[in-house]
Structure 1
Amino acid sequence: MTRGRLAALCFAVGSVCFAVAALPAVAEAIGAIATNVVFVVGSLFFTAGAALSLGDPTRWSSGIQLLGTVFFNISTALALAAAVPAGAAGGSGWRPDVYGSACFLLSSALAVRPSPRGRERSGAWLNLAGSVLFAAAAIGSFEVPGTDALLSPFWTGLGTVGGALLFLAAALLGLLPAPAQRAAATAK
């Protein structure tokens, strides 16, 4: 497996973790601690994928993306640490933080411009759309001052699940064999 495909696999696993853990029915069924463990595991896969992507031609984009994943590592670990002492009543789980989301948005915007045509360009646009949704989730996650209420629970949920699903779609495109590999396999 090539480095790029391994990175795509890591992003796919991380995306599935985030999409599943962000579903309210799943979070309710498995509890706050397990939900946050799934987010932490997903963030670690995102970081592995970003680290494997550092050799790509879009180094600035890859470096900023790696920084964003580190912010997600920290914020998911903090959410887990807050849920453990609270036990079953440990809250709703992790929500996208503004720092990681801003890094993802900037990274995706930088990656779209130099992307060639075809599958790579489609993946870059899917990542950008996912980053926009994660940014919407981060904004929706702000707590209204003086309350424990989120600014927009709707956008927090939709942005997290939708963003993760778009990241998954981009990762799955990266797992497909390149057109030259498909042609060589067909010729055999």
Structure 2
Amino acid sequence: MTDSLVNLSFSGLGYVTKAVHLLEGGRQKIVTSRRHRKGRGALLVTPEGVHAVSPGFKYPWLHIWAPARLTWWVAVLFIIGSALFSVGGYAITFPQDIPTSLTTGLTVDWVFFIGSLFFTSAAFCQLLESVNAGDSEGLYAEQKLPDSFQWVAWHPQRIGYMASLVQLIGTVMFNFNTGNALINDLNWIQQDILIWTPNMIGCICFLIASRLAFMEICHGYWGWQPGNIEWWITVLNLLGSVGFMISALYSLAVPAGDTSSTFSWLSAFFTFQGGVCFFIGSYLLLPEMFSE
């Protein structure tokens, strides 16, 4: 079936996030950047309504198993990583509710470090997902399908790719941040250089990536789509990134004797809040896979 490209939608930064094709009989095929990247296919607009070219499951919330799809691994790895950050943040924020053996500094630091490794694994899978999106159906200039699975590519014209790349950089910074926190006997200057600085860089990367993902969904700087599961995923990730940033701001090390217990509590609380937001957003990636 032949079709003609009749409209392109751009986000505020100039990225193409939606392509509308005119089909025979006055129908339209709508291809969006995120749906294409997630392998969910296009939307078909007919006089009867909007339908997915590749229909989803009747009850997408009940389907959670699809290990053959890279998107599934992205969701599962992010779920585990964000769960560990939530547990670590909760253990520091509300130590009275946690067994003493889990609230020691070394144990909690390991929880964060392992969680950061899951974050990085998920972000890497997410980048591979974008790299291997294949035929863009009018979204981008190149239309050639990759001959084989690609591990490395450069697609700066794709907003989803840039969001995934920036988030991967952020997760690597969290690896340094949480890994260096395992080092004993650091003075406050060393803590700021080895722990706080990569933490801040990682949080900035997460904010940028979350903002790009939000713009990808809204096809602009702002949008209100509470009936769209994709919108809720990006909103929750944005809230999680804001929580992590606030946590980082309160975690700046200062000379001995000047540390505020309130600042330490707030840092732990917003780590917990950010982790919970990321956990819910990560879970929603599963029903998104199976929804129409």
TM-score range, shorter chain: 0.7 to 0.9
Q: Which residue of 1 aligns with 2:232?
A: 122
Aligned-partner Cα distance in 1 for 2:109–2:99: 9
C-alpha deviations, 1:59-109, integer Å up to 9, x for none? 1110010000000001111111338x9xxxxxxxx8782111111111101
Aligned-partner Cα distance in 2 for 1:127–1:119: 12
Aligned-partner Cα distance in 1 for 2:99–2:169: 27
Aligned-partner Cα distance in 2 for 1:62–1:17: 21
Do structure 1's residue 164 and structure 2's residue 275 form an aligned pair?
A: yes
The number of residues matched between the two structures is 171
Q: Residue 27 of structure 1: CA displacement? A: 8.1
Amino acid in the other structure paired with 2:273 = G
Do structure 1's residue 134 and structure 2's residue 244 form an aligned pair?
A: yes
Aligned-partner Cα distance in 2 for 1:156–1:162: 10
Query: Contact conserved, 1:127 with 1:170, CA < 8 A, in 2?
Result: yes
Query: Contact conserved, 1:27 with 1:35, CA < 8 A, in 2?
Result: no
SS in 2 for 1:97: helix
Query: Contact conserved, 1:21 with 1:27, CA < 8 A, in 2?
Result: no
Q: Which residue of 1 aligns with 2:115?
A: 42
SS in 2 for 1:132: helix
Aligned-partner Cα distance in 1 for 2:203–2:100: 25
Aligned-partner Cα distance in 2 for 1:70–1:111: 19
Q: Residue 120 of structure 1: CA displacement? A: 1.5
Change (3 A) 1:36 1:146: closer
Q: Which residue of 2 aligns with 1:90?
A: none
Give the root-mean-square deviation of aligned CA atoms. Answer: 2.4
Structure whose CA Rg is larger: 2
Amino acid in the other structure paired with 1:73 = N
Higher strand share: 2
Aligned-partner Cα distance in 2 for 1:27–1:102: 33
Percent of aligned pairs with the same residue? 31
Q: Which residue of 1 aligns with 2:163?
A: 61
Larger mean Cα displacement after TM superposition, 108-117 or 12-21: 108-117
Aligned-partner Cα distance in 2 for 1:79–1:148: 20
Change (3 A) 1:121 1:149: same
User: Runs (4+) of structure 1 moved beyond 6 Å?
Assistant: none
Q: TM-score, normalised by structure 1?
A: 0.82
Gapped regions of structure 1 (runs ≥ 5): 86-93, 181-188
Q: TM-score, normalised by structure 2?
A: 0.54
Q: Residue 29 of structure 1: CA displacement? A: 3.3
C-alpha deviations, 1:92-136, integer Å up to 9, x for none? xx8782111111111101110012661122101100000001000
Higher helix share: 1
Q: Which residue of 1 aligns with 2:11?
A: none
* Aligned pair partner of 2:177 in 75, 84, 102: 75
Do structure 1's residue 29 and structure 2's residue 131 form an aligned pair?
A: no
